[in-house]
A and B are shown apart, each in its own frame.
Chain A
Amino acid sequence: MVDVLRHDLLIIGGGAAGLRAATAAAQLYPRLNIAIVSKVYPMRSHTVSAEGGAGGVIKSNDSLDEHIQDTISGSDWLADQDAVELFAREAPAELLQLEHWGCPWSREPDGSVAVRPFGGMQKERTWFAADKTGFHLLHTLFQTSLQFSSIRRYDEWFATRLVVENGRCQGVVAIELGSGQIRLISAGAVILATGGAGRVFPFTTNGAICTGDGMALAYRAGVPLKDMEFVQYHPTGLPGTGILITEAARGEGGILVNKDGYRYLQDYGLGPPDPWPRLRAMELGPRDKLSQCFVYEMQKGRTITGPYGDIVYLDVRHLGEKKIDEKIPFVRELARKYVGIDPVHDPIPVRPVVHYMMGGVHTDAQGATPLPGLYAAGEVACVSINGANRLGSNSLSECLVFGTRAGRAAAAFALERPAADFAALETQARDEERRITATFLRAEGTERVSTLRQEMQLAMESGCGIFRDEASLQETCNRLARARGRFMRLRLDDRSRVYNTELVAALELDFMLDAAEAVAYSALARTESRGSHQRTDHPQRDDARFLKHTLAYRTGGAPRVDYLDVAITRWPPAQRVYGG
């Protein structure tokens, strides 16, 4: 162990939330010494894959109240309404800030920013940059961040442990992947901005890097994970790869049809099937309901059997080549490349795919976790504005709004209370180095990373998918526990230090097993159906018992599950009504 790397503020993750936190802190406190630790170069972060857009009220026909209502009803009333209110209020300024920093938002003929409709919205509210919005947003933020000399980056450093001393988080231990060195990086405050955990499932839109790192880091430090049972399936993924076909395809007028060419959503209370896109109806219903309707259709034998599971068709042919190329060119490119069809001439085969974790590290509206000095923002966090089902196009805006809030709050905390307990921190870092060496680099087990990863993913898919019940969830929990046991007998082919990606994969699997456990046990404990969490053995929403957030705490065995009231301000719980 060589010298300590010291900073005021340390951000783990270089995607939208992390970069926004860094720039917000740097603008507010020009002399603050900021560091970003990311296991990939920031422009590889999974923000890059977001396609359709970012929600924020900008047009005169729209209102903050409508954005708030859409978010709350989308969440099946599990979102905290005070947080949703400030989110809706602050989102437009954040999107304008990105505009001022050069984001190439698509425009109206008069030069104003254009918006498009998304699922579950009363008004068109989604800002977009064609259908590569996340890509443009990420590169704009990253390039903007390059002008701040106070932001130091540790690219391709992998954080393996938070260091907590004297009751507060004072930094991380991280591996410099290029050299394999394990180092202590200290700071007065740490922000987790590591994204989601979609890779705990086998079929996901998420990139390989979405392995729940920050969730597990916090969980291990005693911080609860909130609402982890709520996993969003996006209704339109490409079969086989799970590549996302954006909701914007439906926002622009695309329709979903079954094997008979029938717009089946009208059979599930989402009609009428107007020939034009109707807001909050049919294909512009919310993601949870659309994914559930797919399963109903499959049960009726009205889907199409393909080599990678059943599919339905997303048909955009009637939009015409010009509109497809102008508004959703990436959809066309992806369909041609990965399923070999041109959406101008043929419908696109799609099926529901794991897309987003509503749950995450428990934070307040400042991004603060219960552990002093530890903050979280973006998909890794759960404030919660997403509740039981996130409204499409809120996630990019959430990264910006709560990235900024966490950046400012954590910076203020760090200035007041710089890291102090260096001797103790260094001891922890040496422990962590010993753990990594003994558990991974010198272990003589028999199990392969890929075998256990696959077992975890299949356990999650078979028992913890769109529909769950007690038996399926218990089986998933049991399988995960067995996988955790086998993980102790891991053996790596790669024992070297320099750029050991198999070691990273093992550490990521270690994190994912924690995240998966929190998802499965939280789902087992919630004996009701709400939003994306559908229990066939408890099909009704039960506000009397479960208008509450789940808090899962790590123990030696099954997590301890506790509950926390949802903040209700002006929108008392009601039925979710979509369709006309």
Chain B
Amino acid sequence: MRGLLCPDPRLVRRYLENNNMVGTSHISVRNLSVHFPLGRQLFGKPPVVRAVDGVSLEIPKGSFFGLVGESGSGKTTLGRAILKAAPITSGQILYRDDEIKYDLGNIGKEQLKDYRARAQLIFQDPYAALSPRMTVRDIIAEPLEVMGITDTRSATDDRVREIASKCRLNLEHLRRFPHAFSGGQRQRISIARALVCNPKFVVADESVAALDVSIQADILNLLESLRGELQNTFLFISHDLSVVAHICDTVAVMYLGILVESAPTRSLFSNPSHPYTKALLSAIPSLDPDIRGKAQKLEGEIPSPVNPPSGCKFHTRCPVAEEHCRREVPLWRELSEGHSVACHFAEPKPLPENIYN
């Protein structure tokens, strides 16, 4: 039954074949669940937080893959599971690049060490992510030293300088401590540290959320140019849809541990098919003062992942939910090429235009 919650592997395969991407998917997540037990109970099983509950997705090589959703939707946990930093309860995560293939549920200690150099994370808050007692040079060099990638100090220094200049850091500042830098510069240091071991896959978890707009634009442009230069694959986790719209090629929308819609960016933004995606898009405040208060509002808040609603998990907040939404889990359906959605209403009956009033 759970298999119905996620994209049919055959559909995914067909999409990849059509786009000449067979074998080029960098990360394949299949029916992944990450559950965290809540304490212990004397009798019976303790309650579980279903942070990720049966997610399947394919991240194509070289893509900028966006993952959006409210806080509590499980997007960070999914990102961490892919980095092998959260426990995999069931399902499979496959990593594949030109040199090597890993099954992350089943990975040895030595292999994991190698995987750490291939997959890296950029954090949200550049103030909390950098040690105040280390110089910028030491911060950026630490992954190289820990993983034993460079042999000599001069080789380490060369690599640090190379990546620092790619991240547009002033090389004269490498001897300073983080407190001397502004938020934007700190985030560039944080990016340089993530990229110094030349990872093929990078998870950027809300990496621009804490920054001012003008710095945010600068960091987004930097990530874009780095991807062109270094050919990495990015998983970009964000709650800000306008940022995702600008930088990502493909976007997946999460709600309460499941994927509700996934599509190429243009297709998702021009034709959102899940009521939740519609609500998210509509909630973005418009820059035009003349269209005030026209947003379609979503009532209530995200339910607890300990006790998720039956049937379609979104039915408690969905303005078009009917009786069978409460009982039946919607199938994951492909609407157009690469655009899939899990909603009873997506087809054959399209959503009415104005569902929130």
Query: Is this pair of chains taken from one and the same complex?
Result: no
Residues of B within 8 A of A (CB): none
Which residues of A line the B interface, CB within 8 A? none
